[in-house]
């Protein structure tokens, strides 16, 4: 029974999700697990340890410090840093992290540092922009990038990759297929100029499910490992993260009484209001207040009333038989983060990754 605000990390669910995604791939296809943002709000270390034991081939993080944390925790598998900053390149090399090179500026900086340190065949990854327009060399210039890289003995291109913009949206099938086509052309031109074909990866979770022809030699899976597939509730996937808390106090509010900052809620009749120990500092955004979001208490819905505070939210328990100290489910495998996120017109990613590191983590094995 929960006695304080707690994030439960269900490792059997993670294993199940890994096995499901793995079943969608050719035995020869490598699998990269994305564990950035504290493992999508869970624990990047605990998630990585389990995935490594299951035979994951690669990890990816957003920033160098995330990779350093994994190395210090004993993770041995190769780690791709998706958005490295030049100021952190020395630390990346120190901890054997493999940077994504996505522009001439970044490429030159890493080449210069590698030469200074006398490196040879240091593994790097090259990103091409095929339509997301976020990071990456233009896909039309892949042969030129390859020619630069094949002259650098200090570096070894481990993979080339791109990022699908809308693989979860079948209404954008034409655009996604164009991205796949552009990546196919870019990779062939790269290989011709570089002298060999590195590992290629393009598909994310929804790419694996919707475009199996684009799996190439490796796929990058993030949200699917944590139990979601971007578009709908997928019964083959199980949410890994649950957020639970307790009732700190219950107030009887008379008709006309207000609740919370700015008196955002007024009782239209006598009400019973419960205060819970979590708020926007824990990742429950203010947009969930004033009846938008809700929690479950003894399997009954209790809507959030008034404005979400920094460390507290208040919920209407007028129709719920409950007591102070009772467990409260914010989201779990049944009442998922996706369902709650949709109430605020957002996505499960945002809700999960906003979860504060100050919340206690409990590993469910």
- CA dist 18 and 50 (Å) reads 10
Helices (H) and strands (E) in the chain, counts: 11, 20
| 261 counts as catalytic | yes
Closest C-alpha to 198, from 161, 145, 163, 157:
157
The active-site residue, picked from 36, 127, 244, 271, is: 36
Enclosing H/E stretch for 48: helix 44-53
DSSP tag of 96: T
Beta bridge partners of 59: 33, 79
pTM: 0.95
> CA 42, CA 149: separation in Å to the nearest integer?
37
Whole-angstrom distance, CA of residue 159 vs CA of residue 84: 16
User: What 3-state DSSP class applies to 6?
Assistant: strand
Supply the Cα-derived Rg of the chain in whole angstroms.
23
- Residue 57 tokens read as 């081939």
Question: Phi and psi of 33, rounded to 5°?
Answer: -100, 125
pLDDT at 232: 64
- Residues 356, 4 contacting (CB under 8 angstroms): no
pLDDT of 229 reads 85
pLDDT tens, residue by residue, 96-122: 999 999 999 999 999 999 999 999 999
Contact call for residues 49 and 235 (beta carbons, < 8 A): no
Distance CA 211, CA 277 (A): 43
3-state secondary structure of 332: coil
* Residue 72 neighbours by CB distance under 10 Å: 10
Distance, CA of 204 to CA of 32 (rounded, Å): 10
- pLDDT < 50 regions, the chain: none
Of the residues 90, 188, 255, 261, which is catalytic?
Answer: 261
Q: Would you state the pLDDT for residue 55? A: 98
Collapsing DSSP to helix, strand or coil, 296 comes out as strand
- In the chain the domains, ranked by start, together with CATH numbers, are 11-226 (3.20.20.10), 241-364 (2.40.37.10)
Q: What is the pLDDT of residues 247-288, one digit of tens each?
A: 999 999 999 999 999 999 999 999 999 999 999 999 999 999
Q: Could you give the angle at which helices 44-53 and 11-23 cross, rounded to 10 degrees?
A: 50
Counting Cβ atoms within 10 Å, is residue 151 exposed (0-12), middle (13-18) or buried (19+)? exposed
User: Whose structure tokens read 């926007």?
Assistant: 280
H or E element: which one contains 209? helix 205-210
């Amino acid at each position: 029974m929960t006695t304080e605000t707690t994030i439960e990390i269900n490792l059997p669910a993670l294993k199940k999700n890994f096995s499901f995604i793995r079943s969608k791939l050719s035995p020869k296809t490598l699998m990269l697990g994305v564990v950035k943002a504290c493992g999508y709000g869970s624990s990047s270390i605990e998630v990585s340890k389990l995935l490594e034991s299951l035979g994951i081939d690669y990890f990816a993080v957003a920033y160098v410090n995330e990779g350093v944390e994994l190395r210090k925790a004993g993770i041995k598998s190769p780690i791709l840093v998706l958005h490295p900053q030049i100021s952190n390149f020395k630390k990346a090399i120190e901890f054997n992290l493999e940077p994504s090179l996505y522009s001439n500026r970044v490429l030159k900086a890493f080449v210069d540092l590698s030469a200074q340190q006398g490196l040879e065949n240091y593994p790097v990854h090259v990103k091409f922009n095929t339509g997301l327009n976020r990071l990456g060399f233009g896909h039309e210039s892949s042969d030129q990038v390859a020619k630069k890289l094949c002259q650098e003995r200090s570096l070894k291109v481990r993979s080339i990759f791109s990022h699908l913009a809308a693989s979860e949206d079948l209404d954008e099938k034409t655009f996604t297929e164009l991205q796949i086509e552009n990546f196919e052309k870019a990779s062939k031109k790269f290989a011709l100029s570089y002298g060999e074909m590195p590992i290629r990866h393009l598909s994310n979770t929804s790419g694996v499910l919707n475009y199996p022809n684009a799996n190439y030699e490796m796929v990058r899976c993030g949200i699917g490992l944590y139990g979601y597939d971007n578009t709908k509730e997928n019964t083959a996937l199980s949410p890994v993260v649950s957020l639970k808390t307790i009732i700190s106090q219950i107030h009887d509010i008379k008709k006309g009484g207000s609740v919370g900052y700015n008196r955002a809620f007024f009782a239209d009749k006598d009400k019973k209001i419960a205060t819970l120990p979590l708020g926007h500092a824990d990742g429950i955004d203010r947009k969930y207040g004033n009846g938008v979001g809700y929690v479950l208490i003894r399997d009954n819905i209790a809507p959030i009333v008034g404005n979400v505070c920094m460390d507290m939210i208040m919920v209407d328990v007028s129709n719920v038989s409950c007591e102070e100290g009772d467990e409260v489910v914010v989201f779990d495998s049944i009442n998922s983060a996706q369902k709650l996120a949709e109430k605020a017109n957002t996505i499960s990613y945002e809700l999960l990754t906003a979860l504060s590191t100050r919340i206690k983590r409990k590993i469910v094995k």
